[in-house]
Each structure stands twice: as C-alpha cells, then as structure tokens.
Amino acid sequence: MGVDEEELLKLIDALNKRVDAMELRGESISERAEAIIRHVEFLHETLIAITQAKSLGSAKILAQNVLMSMPKINPLH
C-alpha cells in the first residue's frame, strides 16, 4: 500500500506552515537564518522518512509526531 499523494501534500503543507511560523522567532537576521537552516534540514529529514513510510497511516503518525514535537509559536507576537 502506497502513501496517498494528496494526503502527503497536506502533511507537507502543515509542516511548512509550522516552519514558517518558527522562523519568525529570531530577532536578528543571523538568528533567523540559522533557525531557517535548522528547520529546513529537519523538514528534509522528516519528509524523507514520511515518503518512505509503508502506509498512509504510518506517514500520518510520523507527521503528527513531528508537528507535536515542534514548539508552538504564535506568529503574531
């Protein structure tokens, strides 16, 4: 059983939104750049794992665990 492409795209979009919110936390340009690099590397590793998942259920669980492990950041503050 392969991973449904539409569901995978939804998971990727959710991860991207979380990374976008996280990059707002840095105060200086260098802090923001470092945060972006870390999160892009993290997202890359995560997406590799998700796309290698044996099923949609496994991919969803992995993506949900990743989203829960990332700090929640309010982009308005």
Residue 18 vs residue 44, higher pLDDT: 44
Listed in sequence order, the DSSP H helices in the chain are 5-22, 29-51, 56-69
* N-terminal to C-terminal alpha carbon distance within the chain: 43
d(CA 60, CA 75): 25
As a whole number, mean pLDDT of residues 22-29 equals: 60
Question: What is the model's pTM?
Answer: 0.45
- Tokens representing 64 are 């949900």
Find the mean pLDDT for residues 34-46: 77
Instruction: Name which residue leads in pLDDT, 73 or 28.
Output: 28
Let me know: does 5 contact 60? Beta carbons within 8 Å.
Answer: no
* pLDDT at res. 3: 57
SS3 call for 37: helix
With cut-offs at 50, 70 and 90, classify the pLDDT of residue 23. Answer: low
Q: Is the pLDDT of residue 77 over 70?
A: no
Domain spans of the chain?
A: 5-69
